[in-house]
Amino acid sequence: MNQIKSKGVVPWQSPSNIAIVKYWGKHGSQLPKNPSFSLTLSAAYTRTTARFIIHQTEQKNNVSVSLDGAEQPAFIPKITQFLDRVSDDYPFLNRIELHLETHNSFPHSSGIASSASAMSALALIIADIGGRSGDLQEISRISRLGSGSASRSIFPYGSIWGVSNEVPGSSDYFGIGMEDRMHPVFKTFCDAILIVKSGEKAVSSTAGHGLMASHPFAETRYANARNRLSHLTKALETGDVATFGEICEKEALELHALMMCSDPPYILMEPKTLEMIQCVLKFRKASGIPMYFTLDAGPNLHLLYPVENRNKVSDFIQKELIQYCENGKWIDDAVGTGPNKIMQS
Ligand code: PMV
């Protein structure tokens, strides 16, 4: 029996991640239609402090959540849905009074995977209260039930979620850490996140996954992703940055192309996103710097590159890309080592 705490304060910080091979399309209980790989980030994170009491009697939605001090009733349905999904394995959740105080280091719902960091932070809290805080596989599994991509935020450096024949131990139910199968060049990779627009997305990821169920190119898409993942795992091991970059950009464009030919179709890129992509391609050709773009389900551009190019890429951003960023905002991020329990002062 795991030791369950009855009352207390549990604070966790969990990072976002950036998918290189994208998860897009799901079935059953948050199971992916194809395997995906992401790099774990460090500067883009969610910090959540939970204050909780486990009562003797059943509690009906005795949950509150605030973001930077402001109550957020709009977040509650997602949180209670998540608690419901994991309550079979963590029955104390039926008796919990839970107050969450949360902070994102980046704009909420901007296409940066806030659901990945927020849901993995919550999963870390639940596992901690339930006495399973060291069990990364279990934490990844319950993170998945909050948000698929959250299953990958638990691990240092990088993670694969979804069965891939080439990767022993991979599973549709939880992510696995790729630390031992990643060349050092990728463990210090940088990710400049250029914020084109920080508002709510017009179409949520949940709706986007849903549209894949009847998408005319769904099967081709899943085959492409599987195939790319197998090439990517080799590139990750050998430090083949060029192959990594090629896959990264194809995946970004394919993800957005899928949105544009869903029924109904929709567009999450902004004109500024495309302008930045053109600038990036031109700069790469002229400079020879191995710098590659990707996108999540939103308009913000991620630029991925090896750390030794940091100064040159920062100069390029300042000179050419900052004009496209909302209020000049970008996040100078890099691959990171995963979640942390925050020490309380
Ligand atoms: O985890 P969700 O349901 O928010 O879906 C995330 C989908 C993408 O960010 C577009 C791709 C991915 O693999 O992270």
pLDDT of residue 256: 98
pLDDT of residue 114: 78
pLDDT band for 201, please (50, 70, 90 cuts): confident
> Tens digit of pLDDT for each residue in 81-114?
999 999 999 999 999 999 999 999 976 555 565 7
Q: Identify which of 21, 296, 300, 301 to mutate to test ligand 1's pocket (most ligand atoms within 8 A of the CB).
A: 296
Q: Is 80 helix (H, G, I), strand (E, B) or coil?
A: helix
CA of 58 from ligand 1 middle (Å) equals 33
What pairs with residue 193 in β-bridges? 302, 331
Ramachandran angles phi, psi of 85, nearest 5°: -65, -30
Contact indicator for 273, 299 with CB cutoff of 8 Å: yes
Q: Identify which of 17, 18, 24 to mutate to test ligand 1's pocket (most ligand atoms within 8 A of the CB).
A: 24
pLDDT band for 200, please (50, 70, 90 cuts): confident
**CATH classification code of 7-184:** 3.30.230.10
> Tens digit of pLDDT for each residue in 237-284?
999 999 999 999 999 999 999 999 999 999 999 999 999 999 999 999
pLDDT of 9 strictly over 60: yes
Q: Is 191 helix (H, G, I), strand (E, B) or coil?
A: strand
CA of 197 from ligand 1 middle (Å) equals 18
Q: Which amino acid is at 299?
A: P
Tell me the pLDDT of the chain averaged across its residues.
95
Atom index in ligand 1 nearest the CA of residue 119 equals 1
pLDDT of residue 219: 98
pLDDT of residue 108: 59
pLDDT of residue 293: 98
H helical segments located in 239-307: 241-260, 271-287
* Residue whose structure tokens are 């710097």: 289
Between strands 330-334 and 190-194, the pairing is: antiparallel
CA-based nearest residue to 108, from 11, 191, 12, 16: 16
pLDDT of 226 strictly over 90: yes
Pocket of ligand 1 (CB under 6 A): 19, 22-24, 36, 113, 115, 147-149, 205, 209, 255, 296-297
pLDDT of 1 strictly over 60: no
Model pTM above 0.85: yes
Q: Is 306 helix (H, G, I), strand (E, B) or coil?
A: coil
Crossing angle of helices 114-129/136-146, nearest 10°?
A: 130
The percent of residues above 90 in pLDDT, for the chain, comes to 91
pLDDT of 59 strictly over 60: yes
Contact indicator for 65, 104 with CB cutoff of 8 Å: no
What pairs with residue 47 in β-bridges? 13, 103
pLDDT of residue 4: 80
> Tens digit of pLDDT for each residue in 285-309?
999 999 999 999 999 999 999 999 9
**Where does the chain show beta strands of DSSP type E?**
7-21, 26-27, 31-32, 36-54, 63-67, 70-71, 96-104, 158-161, 175-177, 190-194, 292-295, 301-305, 330-334, 340-341
Query: What is 186-334's CATH number, 3.30.420.40, 3.40.640.10, 3.30.70.890, 1.10.630.10?
Result: 3.30.70.890
CA of 7 from ligand 1 middle (Å) equals 33
What pairs with residue 53 in β-bridges? 7, 97
Between strands 292-295 and 70-71, the pairing is: unpaired
Contacts of 243 (CB under 8 A, 6+ apart): 231, 232, 234, 235
CA of 56 from ligand 1 middle (Å) equals 37
CA of 323 from ligand 1 middle (Å) equals 27
b (16+ CB within 10 A) / e for 294-311: bbbbbbbbbbbbbeeeee
Atom index in ligand 1 nearest the CA of residue 26 equals 3
Atom index in ligand 1 nearest the CA of residue 18 equals 14
Between strands 63-67 and 96-104, the pairing is: parallel
CA of 44 from ligand 1 middle (Å) equals 15
Atom index in ligand 1 nearest the CA of residue 150 equals 1
> Tens digit of pLDDT for each residue in 327-345?
999 999 999 999 999 976 5
Q: Which is higher by pLDDT, 17 or 201?
A: 17
Q: What is the largest CA-CA distance in the chain?
A: 67
Domain boundaries, given as residue ranges, for the chain: 7-184, 186-334
Ramachandran angles phi, psi of 228, nearest 5°: -65, -35
